[in-house]
């Protein structure tokens, strides 16, 4: 049976794109106090890994060794539980994206992966510092984070 695995790659250095998006959303009068960005990768696995030791198959190590996805000087990689956005988060998917492994990973195969899909994840926090509500996340996606002509917003 196949399994879907979700991996987030985020910056450990200051993120100028997230800072610019945050200040723009604040100028648009959306009450957002913090904004974080990550590349979200959904990997369709050839087989289901053990729930007790999902890292045993080496997916995270394979992602970290793929220089097209990960730079150890500036990135952090984490496996995420589930394959949907968290509370206060929106994933932006490029329309017409080819989920084939060769198209998404530059031809550098990761063992055990049938296909991969890349999305941009935005985690929004409201003025109290808690994950933003669905209405605020949707407003931010509509105002700036998603271009509906070429992208689709996926909300929790």
- Model confidence over 6-63: pLDDT tens digits? 999 999 999 999 999 999 999 999 999 999 999 999 999 887 654 444 455 689 999 9
- Choose between 105 and 66: higher pLDDT: 66
* N-to-C CA span, the chain: 26
Lowest mean pLDDT among 70-79, 91-100, 106-115: 106-115
pTM of this prediction? 0.88
In the predicted model, is pLDDT for residue 1 greater than 60? Answer: no
Closest by Cα among 132, 2, 7, 138 to 82 = 7
- Choose between 57 and 68: higher pLDDT: 68
- Choose between 104 and 145: higher pLDDT: 145
Q: Hey, is 124 helix, strand or coil?
A: strand
Question: What number of other Cβ atoms are within 10 A of residue 120's Cβ?
Answer: 17
Cβ distance 155 to 137 under 8 Å? yes
Task: Quote the CA–CA distance of 149 and 89 in Å, as a whole number.
Answer: 21
In the predicted model, is pLDDT for residue 154 greater than 70? Answer: yes
Name the token pair of 27: 């100028």
Name the token pair of 111: 């063992």
- In the DSSP assignment, the letter for residue 104 is H
What pLDDT does 14 receive? 96
Task: Quote the CA–CA distance of 22 and 119 in Å, as a whole number.
Answer: 19
> Mean pLDDT across the chain, nearest whole number?
89
């Amino acid at each position: 049976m196949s399994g879907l695995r979700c991996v987030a790659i985020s910056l450990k250095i200051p993120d100028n794109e997230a800072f610019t998006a945050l200040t723009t959303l604040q100028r648009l009068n959306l009450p957002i106090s913090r904004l974080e960005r990550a590349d979200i990768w959904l990997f369709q696995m050839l087989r289901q890994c053990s729930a007790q030791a999902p890292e045993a198959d080496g997916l995270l190590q394979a992602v970290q060794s793929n220089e097209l996805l990960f730079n150890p000087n500036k990135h952090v990689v984490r496996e995420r539980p589930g394959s949907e956005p968290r509370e206060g988060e929106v994933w932006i998917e490029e329309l017409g994206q080819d989920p084939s492994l060769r198209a998404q990973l530059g031809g550098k195969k990761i063992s055990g992966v049938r296909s991969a899909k890349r999305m941009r994840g935005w985690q929004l926090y409201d003025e109290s510092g808690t994950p933003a509500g669905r209405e605020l996340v949707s407003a931010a996606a509509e105002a700036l984070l998603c271009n509906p002509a070429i992208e689709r917003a996926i909300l929790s």
